[in-house]
Amino acid sequence: MSHEAGYKTGEEKLVYMANQIARFFEAMPHEEAVSGVADHINKFWEPRMRRHLFEIVARGGEGLRPLVLEAAQRVKRPREADA
């Protein structure tokens, strides 16, 4: 049974995943939450996923929770060689 069946696009899945991370950290003090989201994405998301996140943010971040948008400023940009 696939958990991806409800997603129409990879982008929707990425937004969902980022928002799930944010929901976990939202109960923490704000600075800790921002750092936590950024740290999690930096540690566990492959460069292609981070690149896609930056593309979504550059288009306005539609669907992303405010905490994700703020944390994105601390996410490491992947090198072009990591494409």
pLDDT of 39-53, one tens digit each? 999 999 999 999 999
The pTM score is 0.86
CB half-sphere exposure, 73, CA atoms < 13 A: 7
Report pLDDT for 83: 53
pLDDT, one tens digit per residue, over 51-63 is 999 999 999 999 9
Q: How many CB atoms are closer than 10 A to CB 41?
A: 21
Query: Rg for the chain (alpha carbons), in Å?
Result: 13
Domain ranges of the chain: 10-74
